[in-house]
Amino acid sequence: MVDTATFWVFTVGYIAITLFLAYYGWKKTKSSEDFLLAGKNVSPWIIGLSYGSTFISTSAIVGFGGVAAQLGMGLMWLVFLNIALGILIAFVVFGKPTRRLGQKLKAMTFPDLIGKRYNSHFMQYATGILILVSMPLYSSAVLIGGSQFINVTLNVDYNVALLGFALITAMYVVVGGLLAVMYTDAFQGGVMIVGMSLILVITFSLLGGVDHAITALTALNTQVPAAQIGSLPASGWLGWTSMPDLGSTIWLKMVTTIIMGVGIGVLAQPQLIVRFMTAKDSKTLNRAIPIGAVFILLTTGIAYTVGALTNVYFWNNNGMISTAAEVSKYGAPLNTDKIMPLYINSAMPDIVIVLFMLTLLAAAMSTLSSIFHTMGSAAGHDVWRHFKTSRLMPKSKRCELEECSSLSANKIGAVIMIIVSVGLAFLMPPSIIARATAMFMGLCAAAFLPLFTHALFSKKVSLLAAKLSLLVGAISWFTWTAFVHIAESQPLGICKALFGSDSLLNGTSWTVVDSLVIAIPLSILALLVGWLIDRKKNRLLPELA
């Protein structure tokens, strides 16, 4: 148990600063545009830290840290992709055109940007609905991560922790809008950097330095009895400091689901894309790049390194690897989401445990607040506004599209989606954080990335291409997820109920190939087919003035 006085001193200070920044954002939020885009004049430091802390949540620290403890340092390739794609390509290649296009079209949200670029209410409506259907999966995973650590560290009832966690985050999102979200994100990002840096230094100190720790981890490969490898498949795993055997079951899981799913998926995240639209000019985005890159390196890089090294710590102190230590402490089945909290509580001094808890809270709150804001915007600005203009609304209550966006509608939308997320968090199974994150990012990449790229870089766009890409990407992702990819098809049970088997391709390596690998090529192919049809029929939309 953590010393109560230490916990409350740090926690009260953290909450006080968070609420002050939320109040500051609320004072500057006077209109629907302020709520949605933070005034379009945010500094590079705020953008860089807010983007990074929104991107990196408890999924990276707790979820993927636990996966690194189980599978090894091969996850460091995800850090490389996070920086190369999630920062450099995202800001330089996608960020600047997104900012320019958003200003030209006066777009307020990602669905608004897509709808206006394709001159289609359907595209805005459909994109907004897909966000509302899929994003609660991600927000619930983030809620679970923060709540599990509070439960393990402070022995607070899990349900109480989850509700309190959601309530605090909801207050400043609903009241302060995107400006409050980004200010608090930046502060929370600073907390994350300090907390993770301390944990790395102490970990290497406990294990005898960098060289000794890595050498011990490598040597552990041959010392671990086969029975203690736990849930690792028998073939393909080559140790914690090596990539799995090329093409093996573990290699396919690590590369297609975790590295590619998250690494590529970041380019099409609606809550991240909107950050580009808050910048005053391209120079602001350029200056935010190194800030975001260093942040990613110091958070994900440390989480995956420390996650793998927990095996050395538990072996030295308990004679067992991390997965075995988790099962020994909490009982079967294995829950990799508890490995990082167990290590921190076992190895770190009280003050670092509290700081890590605040780091997790900061990671979860920064991501949660952005997700809540995005869902609220999609519900209020992109879906409800269109519903009020449709024939489904009584004629006396209809309004013109330009007059329908309101601050109150966005706030009410956020409240509704927060309630949905909390309810889903109570229903989701344990050890779901990393999986749910990869699923959401994979779906976004399959459904949004091809049509988003087409919108930014094609002078003349095809509405048919965008519609086909969205539908084919989403449907093919869901089909592979529900009927082939065993990690999801088995717990979902749809394939079992309809065909009597957990996967239609049982007994083949295809069952561990992530849906992203199948859905993105199909989405791109659908985009090309639609574009060729519209081009042949001379239906391409004209260039923007």
Ramachandran bin of 349, using left for φ above 0, alpha for ψ from -120 to 50, beta for the remaining angles? beta
- The string of pLDDT tens digits covering residues 5-60 is 777 777 788 778 877 877 776 666 655 555 555 555 667 777 777 777 776 766 67
Q: What pLDDT is recorded for position 525?
A: 97
Q: Are residues 364 and 273 in the same domain?
A: yes
Q: Are residues 428 and 462 in the same domain?
A: no
- pLDDT range class, residue 492, cuts 50, 70, 90: confident
Per the domain annotation, does 447 fall within a domain?
no
Q: Which residues have CB under 8 Å from 371's CB, separation 6+?
A: 135, 138, 139, 142, 271, 421
Q: Are residues 282 and 420 in the same domain?
A: yes
Q: Are residues 293 and 412 in the same domain?
A: yes
- Number of neighbours of residue 74 by Cβ within 10 angstroms: 25
* 436: nearest Cα among 336, 305, 297, 334: 336
Domain with 489 in it: 458-545
Question: What is the arithmetic mean of pLDDT over 257-271?
Answer: 75
* 432: nearest Cα among 337, 334, 532: 337
Q: Are residues 327 and 475 in the same domain?
A: no
Q: What pLDDT is recorded for position 534?
A: 93
* 45: nearest Cα among 278, 281, 289, 280: 289
Report the C-alpha gap between 166 and 186 in whole angstroms: 19
**Phi, psi (degrees; rounded to nearest 5) at 42:** -90, 140
- The string of pLDDT tens digits covering residues 497-511 is 898 888 898 888 888
* 36: nearest Cα among 453, 411, 383: 411
Task: Give the CATH number for residue 260.
Answer: 1.20.1730.10
Report the C-alpha gap between 529 and 475 in whole angstroms: 17
Give me the chain's average pLDDT, please: 79
Number of domains observed in the structure of the chain: 2
- The string of pLDDT tens digits covering residues 285-314 is 888 888 888 888 888 888 889 989 999 999
- pLDDT range class, residue 469, cuts 50, 70, 90: very high
- The string of pLDDT tens digits covering residues 85-102 is 778 888 888 888 998 888
- The string of pLDDT tens digits covering residues 315-360 is 989 888 888 888 888 877 777 878 888 898 888 887 888 877 777 7
Per the domain annotation, does 180 fall within a domain?
yes
Q: Are residues 414 and 543 in the same domain?
A: no
Per the domain annotation, does 382 fall within a domain?
yes
Q: Are residues 65 and 212 in the same domain?
A: yes
Tell me how far CA of residue 124 lies from CA of 121, 339, 370, 451, 463, in angstroms.
Answer: 5, 41, 19, 12, 12
Per the domain annotation, does 452 fall within a domain?
no
Per the domain annotation, does 195 fall within a domain?
yes
Per the domain annotation, does 309 fall within a domain?
yes
Q: Are residues 434 and 316 in the same domain?
A: yes
Q: What pLDDT is recorded for position 428?
A: 73
Q: Give CB contacts under 8 A, 24+ apart, made by 101-107.
A: 101/455, 101/456, 101/544, 102/276, 102/277, 103/40, 103/277, 104/544, 105/544, 107/277
More confident of the two residues 110 and 58: 110
- The string of pLDDT tens digits covering residues 354-411 is 877 777 777 777 777 778 778 888 887 777 776 666 555 556 555 555 555 555 666 7
Report the C-alpha gap between 322 and 313 in whole angstroms: 8
Cβ atoms of residues 327 and 423 within 8 Å: no
User: Which tokens sit at 150?
Assistant: 């509070």
- The string of pLDDT tens digits covering residues 189-243 is 788 888 888 889 999 999 989 899 988 888 887 766 554 444 454 567 777 777 7
Q: What pLDDT is recorded for position 230?
A: 46
Q: Are residues 300 and 409 in the same domain?
A: yes
Per the domain annotation, does 102 fall within a domain?
yes
* 417: nearest Cα among 385, 369, 475: 369
Cβ atoms of residues 150 and 144 within 8 Å: no
In sign, the C-alpha dihedral spanning 455, 457, 463, 469 is negative
Euclidean distance between the first and the last CA atom of the chain, given in angstroms as a whole number: 63
Q: Are residues 355 and 484 in the same domain?
A: no
Per the domain annotation, does 350 fall within a domain?
yes
User: Amino acid identity, residue 444?
Assistant: C
Predicted TM-score (pTM) above 0.85: no
* 336: nearest Cα among 349, 327, 345: 327
Find the angle CA(103)-CA(131)-CA(408) to the nearest 5 degrees: 70
Q: What pLDDT is recorded for position 53?
A: 72
42 DSSP β-pair partners:
279
Q: Which residues have CB under 8 Å from 224's CB, separation 6+?
A: 315, 321
Q: Which residues have CB under 8 Å from 419's CB, separation 6+?
A: none
Q: State the SS3 of 395-426.
A: HHHCCCHHHHCCHHHHHHHHHHHHHHHHHHHH
Final residue before a domain boundary, out of 379, 408, 441: 441
Q: Are residues 346 and 489 in the same domain?
A: no
Question: What is the arithmetic mean of pLDDT over 137-157?
Answer: 74
Q: Are residues 338 and 480 in the same domain?
A: no
Number of Cα atoms under 13 Å in the Cβ half of residue 495: 22
Cβ atoms of residues 26 and 180 within 8 Å: yes
Report the C-alpha gap between 211 and 312 in whole angstroms: 13
What does the DSSP 8-state code read for residue 384?
I
Q: What pLDDT is recorded for position 404?
A: 54
